Amino acid sequence: MAAPRPDIGFVPTPADAATAMLKLADLSAADVVYDLGCGDGRLLVQAALDYGVQGVGVDIDPVLLEQARALARQVGVEHRLRFIQGNLFEADLHDATVVLIYLLPHLNLRLRSRLQTQLRSGSRVVSHMFDMGDWLPHLTLRLEPSEEDSVLYLWQIP
């Protein structure tokens, strides 16, 4: 049986956008951050280093997940992070207080109801570049100048 194919290719979040996403999420050491489509784990590793969070990365690509685990070990945050191979649309998000995404618009829309039903009140969702249709964000931040004129969106679960 063939390995599952990803819905999107891996495109790393630019460094300035990653830093801004974590700041926009208003992280603290009490947060449990989920990165859906985590790729090589750089965003979660940065969150663990800079804010002391616990985190879970979900990605379908085993090679990228190995890179994520290696990076976490290299910088000494592997005890705070778990990287799970799986479909991000099937991930159990109940423990998350923050969800980070850099997906395409149609994938955000597919994920939206899961975020709204599984996340607890007060949880935050931060998206790089793409909104979620008519679910209006609490805050939109345009990074200019930046590596690619990034736009960030923040939603808070009521």
Q: At 54, which helix (H) or strand (E)? A: strand 54-59
> Is-cis flag, bond preceding 14, omega within 30?
no
- Sign, CA dihedral 131-134-136-140, equals positive
pLDDT band at 2 (very low <50, low <70, confident <90, very high): very low
- pLDDT tens for residues 133-143? 999 999 999 98
Domains in the chain, start-ordered, CATH in brackets? 15-156 (3.40.50.150)
Angle 23-102-35 from CA coordinates, rounded to 5°: 70
pLDDT of the residue at 146? 57
Residues β-bridged to residue 101 = 36, 127
pTM of the predicted protein model? 0.91
Token duo for residue 16: 């300035």
